[in-house]
């Protein structure tokens, strides 16, 4: 059954949500306050890199099921369901900033039809349904939590083939109505209260961040005792209770979710009277990992990076996305710049026109980034980096070139055969 759906926010989550609901047969109005962004979308230009999204948007527009409008009210005025997919950035105190959520709710409140359902898709702290209810100023509409579990780079697949769909509502009828939007989506459906739904989202991201900090800590142990972390995590992952996912060491976690969601859950716990020391340790280990990568680069540069040219492969927070928000690569490179290094970088999804960090020179290709560099550091796991001509890389770099592979992406033996000094994460 087709429904009229409004999606407020045309970012990663909002665009994916809008395009996928249109694909499922619903009539969708996707709104944003950025008129230029809406104009781009109306011209068929998708401003983000996300596998399959451009095709899905084009399909929805051609079918007349997907529309783009400026302003939340224009999308919500005739919608049975209004999804709030706006940013909830980390505030100065670590808590989620709900100002965008409140502003969107205040805008749509006067125009919502009676019995409409407003759904929090954004990651929001416990109690946010009440915040939205107050901002709406309506007693004849329902507020439901329906958290997203989308991974950048595979968001379309994650929406259409999720591990689960979680709906949090105090009203069973409203929950059933939201569930009807997902007819045709093969996934377990879980209906619970809003507080539990909101906590599921934060706890899930915090657990994944914990796995990443854990494996980076294990990598440090491997370096101390002479073990190979790749073999260690392979052996661990065969245990079905552990699994292989999120057990890859790296420069530290980042992105738009994990840093803010771990901090937010720590604050949520504190507000409830619980000191979440375990999660604080996860955050601390992550900060230490950035410093460990910087130290590895400095050691390869002779003990200091001051005045040293560093080449970097990778700027986005992960491969298969163009998202630079809270990128571990930018975090590491920023620390190298602070220590006096010159940084030249390449990323297949980042052009020189995109703002990164002052001081980072963005090159047009990976070989140019290496010109005159003393150390090359691999920071994002783009597959193309595996197959580059290492002889050409060596020719472009300074004498006695070195590589710090913070993603354990390259073939260590092949790198060393070509005369590079080499350092990985958790392996020698």
CATH number at residue 115: 3.40.50.720
User: pLDDT band for position 353 (50/70/90)?
Assistant: confident
Contact 118, 108 (CB under 8 A): yes
pLDDT of 352 > 90? The answer is: no
Specify whether 372 is located in the same domain as 268: yes
Mean pLDDT of 247-253: 97
Q: Among 143, 170, 192, where does a domain finish?
A: 192
pLDDT of 56 > 80? The answer is: yes
Q: In the structure encoding, which two tokens stand for residue 61, read together?
A: 């527009």
Mean pLDDT of 28-51: 95
pLDDT of 1 > 90? The answer is: no
Task: Provide the mean pLDDT of the chain.
Answer: 95
Q: What percent of the chain has pLDDT over 70?
A: 100
Query: Using one digit for the tens of pLDDT, what is the confidence trace for 26-38?
Result: 999 999 999 999 9
Q: How far apart are CA 36 and CA 31, in angstroms?
A: 12
Lowest-confidence region among 107-121, 283-297, 353-367: 353-367
Mean pLDDT of 183-198: 95
Look at residue 96 and give its three-state secondary structure.
strand
Specify whether 43 is located in the same domain as 174: yes
Paired strand residues for 362? 345
Task: Name the residue with tokens 């979680």.
Answer: 166
Q: Is residue 211 part of a domain?
A: no
Look at residue 369 and give its three-state secondary structure.
helix
Specify whether 428 is located in the same domain as 379: yes
Specify whether 23 is located in the same domain as 123: yes
Residue 370 among the catalytic residues:
no
Contact 146, 162 (CB under 8 A): no
pLDDT of 89 > 90? The answer is: no
User: pLDDT band for position 133 (50/70/90)?
Assistant: very high
Total domains in the chain come to 2
Query: What pLDDT is stored for residue 19 in this prediction?
Result: 98
Which of 20, 30, 222, 257 is labelled catalytic? 257
User: pLDDT band for position 94 (50/70/90)?
Assistant: confident
Q: Is residue 54 part of a domain?
A: yes
Query: What pLDDT is stored for residue 279 in this prediction?
Result: 98
**HSE-CB of 10 using CA atoms within 13 angstroms:** 28
User: pLDDT band for position 217 (50/70/90)?
Assistant: very high
Q: How far apart are CA 120 and CA 124, in angstroms?
A: 8
φ/ψ of residue 363, rounded to 5: -95, 160
The boundaries of the domain holding residue 105 are 4-192
């Amino acid at each position: 059954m087709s429904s009229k759906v409004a999606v407020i926010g045309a970012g990663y989550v909002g665009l994916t949500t809008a395009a996928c609901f249109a694909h499922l047969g619903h009539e969708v109005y996707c709104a944003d306050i950025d008129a230029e962004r809406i104009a781009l979308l109306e011209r068929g230009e998708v401003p983000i890199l996300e596998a399959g999204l451009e095709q899905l948007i084009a399909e929805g527009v051609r079918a007349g099921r997907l529309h783009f409008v400026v302003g939340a009210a224009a999308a919500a005025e005739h919608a049975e369901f209004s999804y709030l997919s706006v940013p909830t950035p980390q505030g100065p105190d670590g808590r989620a900033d709900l100002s965008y959520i409140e502003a969107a709710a205040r805008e749509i409140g006067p125009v919502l039809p009676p019995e409409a359902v407003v759904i929090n898709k954004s990651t929001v702290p416990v109690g946010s349904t009440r915040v939205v209810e107050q901002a709406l100023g309506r007693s004849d509409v329902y507020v439901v939590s329906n958290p997203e579990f989308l991974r950048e780079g595979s968001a379309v697949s994650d929406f259409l083939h999720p591990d689960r769909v979680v709906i949090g509502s105090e009203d069973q009828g409203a929950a059933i109505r939201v569930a009807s939007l997902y007819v045709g989506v093969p996934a377990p459906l879980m209906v619970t209260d809003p507080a539990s739904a909101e906590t599921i989202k934060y706890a899930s991201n915090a657990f994944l961040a914990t796995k990443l900090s854990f494996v980076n800590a294990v990598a440090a142990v491997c370096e101390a005792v002479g073990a190979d972390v790749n073999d260690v995590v392979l052996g661990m992952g065969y245990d079905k209770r552990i699994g292989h996912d999120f057990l890859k060491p790296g420069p530290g976690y980042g992105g738009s979710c994990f840093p803010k969601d771990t901090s937010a859950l720590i604050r949520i716990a504190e507000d409830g009277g619980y000191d979440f020391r375990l999660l604080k340790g996860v955050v601390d280990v992550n900060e230490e990992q950035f410093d460990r990568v910087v130290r590895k680069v400095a050691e390869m540069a002779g003990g200091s990076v001051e005045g040293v040219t560093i080449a970097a492969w990778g700027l986005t927070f992960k491969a298969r996305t163009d998202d630079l928000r809270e990128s571990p690569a930018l975090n590491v490179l920023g620390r190298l710049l602070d220590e006096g290094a010159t940084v030249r970088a390449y990323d297949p999804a980042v052009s020189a026109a995109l703002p990164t960090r002052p001081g980072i020179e963005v090159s047009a290709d990976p070989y140019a980034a290496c010109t005159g560099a003393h150390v090359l550091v691999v920071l994002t796991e783009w597959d193309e980096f595996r197959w580059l001509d290492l002889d050409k890389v060596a020719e472009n770099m300074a004498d006695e070139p070195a590589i710090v592979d913070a993603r354990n992406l390259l073939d260590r033996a092949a790198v060393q055969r070509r005369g590079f000094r080499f350092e990985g994460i958790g392996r020698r």
